Structure 1
């Protein structure tokens, strides 16, 4: 049934963001969401050292491994589902990472415009 297919910001079926490291609120590789995802992990970003330091300064350490949560810690170049509001904060701080539009959930458009997302679109091939 097509109704349960998650869509990306381009209106197409959502493409996985990353299986290594395994990302997503549901740890299924995709930036899917539901009402339990209060952080709205919608944006498939290609993280940079600058963004990782920014996130750490905001109280979210994405670099330290946390095996209990099946989290190996991120390094620059990893693809990761970011919370939409954190990504917007990074845009405002001029340190937002590039994103993969095909892997960014359509719900991101409730917060930001497609034009803004396109400004940060990566044309780098997927490393899912």
Structure 2
């Protein structure tokens, strides 16, 4: 299977890589952390889910673990990749529970909220 390509850019200014193709993540559910003006949450950070982050998100009123088939949402578990909101990642960072990120799959719009130097400290391959 060929990996789809994106015309949008990652935090390095290169073509955005897919975040997860097994589970359709992202604002468009296309596997990428693509964004447009209508994506008011800015689902631009490709993150590796951790138990701490999932618990933190739940405490903020966003249950990411319960499947919601009507929204094409499978429910997440530790180890899954998912495009999360840049502001929520930043909140988690401030609370010391930020999940690891895949920089090549994180949209450059994220840099309007989170500095690259901060993201790089949480980078995984």
Mapping of residues 1-128 of structure 1, within 5 Å: 5-123=7-125
Give TM-score scaled by structure 2 length.
Answer: 0.93
Q: State the alpha-carbon separation in 2 of the partners of residues 77 and 120 from structure 1.
A: 15
Where structure 1 has 5 or more consecutive residues not aligned to the other structure, the ranges are 124-128
Q: Report the Cα offset of residue 20 of structure 1.
A: 2.2
Deviation digits for residues 25-50 of structure 1 (CA, Å, limit 9, x no counterpart): 00000001001100000100001011
Whole-Å separation in 1 of the counterparts to 2:59 and 2:114: 23
After TM superposition, the score normalised by the length of structure 1 is 0.91
Tell me the CA shift for residue 119 of structure 1.
0.5
Size of the aligned set, in residue pairs, is 120
3-state SS of paired residue (2:58): helix
Give 1:69 shift: 1.1
